[in-house]
Amino acid sequence: MFNGVFNGKSVWLSGHTGFKGAWLAEWLLCLGARVQGFALPPATQPSLFQQLGLASRLHHEVGDIRDPAAVKKSILAAQPDFVFHLAAQPLVRLSYEQPVETYSTNVMGTINVLQALREFEKPCPAVMVTTDKCYENREWVHGYREEDSLGGHDPYSSSKAAAELAISAWRRSFFQDHPVKIASARAGNVIGGGDWAPDRIVPDCIRSLQAGQPIGVRNPKATRPWQHVLEPLSGYLWLAALLYDQRSEPRYQKSELGNQRSEVRNQKSELSNQEPVSSSVHRLLSSDLRPLTSDLRPQPSGLDSAFNFGPSHESNRTVAELVVEVLKHWPGSWEDTSSPNAAHEAGLLQLSTEKAHARLRWLPVWSFSQAVEHTVTWYRTTAERPDPGAARELTSAHIDRYTAEACQAGLPWATAGALHPAGVTLPPMNDRRSPPSSKLVPVVQVPPPVGDV
């Protein structure tokens, strides 16, 4: 998996006490990495960080990303082989209450990481995590591409757009002939076990269901690209692994795209012969391949650029549809609590992942219903089993199962194949090789949802 590049490597990870950061820390530990986390203490009780017992399993450093000296000292001391920057104030509604703090954390925090990396002298891919909300939202029915205009109505979204602008400017100004390679990653709304943030729909659902109360839904008609947290994380890890593999390669050549373009055009017919592939993945492949041929224009930049990691089209659902799906696995009820005076939130938001597919051969693995089922299973099982090992066991089982299904589908990050530098023809998606280790097969059984409550 990921060609084994993380095994024994040092990884600097900001935001490891948060939802996505804790999942990423757990996955990196499974991959054999030594993880140095840099973040504020967990903001919620419970927190996934505490449920996974991460404080004793990685180098846990409490620090403020807004403090340039602390960030620099931490990164230089860690001498990382990889950097993942996730620390942020990520809540839209809180950003209306704390716009200045949101900007200083999300923009200056990112710049502090970039500035520290300028002084770094060894090869090191750095994946800077922003969001799908960094695009100027025009309520388009199609997905935003990496070249689309950045913007953002609210302080959170626009702070992430500003972070993207800073990343792009620093990359062009300071990291062209530099051993550190900077990429940014824009993901959709992630769901998964262990998110306890306020004002997020899945944690809101779980809190209401645990209390036996109807779920209050304040924006039922808003459409979002829902995806399981493991989907973008596989993209971040694979992007970093490919950048690592390119560390001594010359920069990407436009002319090399010819092979890649025709090879991707052929994929749809190759895929139709592909059996057996997990039905959900096959469906995702079929639907996601359709627009590829129109977007294979040469990319001016290499892998050190921006990438979207979103779900398939069928996962673009309204908040109400998400809640109804949650209720299939944990029965209860919901009510519309929308108010005409509520703060603005985007109505329609979708991401195009054509670039991630064309350049990385990355695709989502789990369908919308699978993502919701695994998410609710996580919460219900850990609610039934509050012993310290339950969350860790379940989280590892989800990572194993996700990886096994990606492997079965032939996704390059999950198979044992060689890495694929940009511009070199990638193997077709039906070129399925043996999984890298027996650990991946058979598919790990995630416990089924516990009985109705």
Ligand X SMILES: NC(=O)c1ccc[n+]([C@@H]2O[C@H](COP(=O)([O-])OP(=O)(O)OC[C@H]3O[C@@H](n4cnc5c(N)ncnc54)[C@H](O)[C@@H]3O)[C@@H](O)[C@H]2O)c1
C-alpha Rg value of the chain to the nearest Å: 21
Helix segments in 87-136, DSSP class H: 92-97, 99-103, 109-118
d(CA 286, CA 208) in angstroms, rounded, equals 37
Report the residue number, 129 or 183, with the smaller CB distance to ligand X. 129
Report the residue number, 89 or 318, with the smaller CB distance to ligand X. 89
Report the residue number, 3 or 14, with the smaller CB distance to ligand X. 14
Residues in touch with ligand X (CB under 6 A): 15-21, 39-40, 64-66, 86-90, 105, 129, 131, 187, 189-190, 197
Tokens of 60: 């846990």
CB 354 → ligand X: shortest distance, Å? Answer: 19
Q: Phi then psi for 420, rounded to 5 degrees?
A: -125, 95
CB 42 → ligand X: shortest distance, Å? Answer: 7
CB 329 → ligand X: shortest distance, Å? Answer: 20
CB 383 → ligand X: shortest distance, Å? Answer: 19
Tokens of 33: 């990495």
**Cα–Cα distances in angstroms (integers) from residue 222 to residues 60, 76, 375, 387, in the given order:** 37, 43, 20, 37
Report the residue number, 64 or 249, with the smaller CB distance to ligand X. 64
CB 61 → ligand X: shortest distance, Å? Answer: 10
Annotate 160-218 with DSSP letters as a single string: HHHHHHHHHHHHHHHSTTSSEEEEEEEE-EEE-TT---TT-HHHHHHHHHHHT-PEEES
Report the residue number, 13 or 407, with the smaller CB distance to ligand X. 13
Closest by CA position to 436, among listed 30, 13, 22, 57: 30
Report the residue number, 32 or 198, with the smaller CB distance to ligand X. 198
CB 139 → ligand X: shortest distance, Å? Answer: 19
Closest by CA position to 381, among listed 368, 402, 397, 365: 397
CB 336 → ligand X: shortest distance, Å? Answer: 22
Report the residue number, 87 or 409, with the smaller CB distance to ligand X. 87
d(CA 195, CA 18) in angstroms, rounded, equals 8
Return the bridge partners of 309, or none: 187
CB 381 → ligand X: shortest distance, Å? Answer: 21
Cβ-closest residue to ligand X? 18
Which uninterrupted H or E stretch holds 309? Answer: strand 306-309
Sign of the Cα torsion 262, 267, 268, 273 reads positive
Report the residue number, 49 or 334, with the smaller CB distance to ligand X. 49
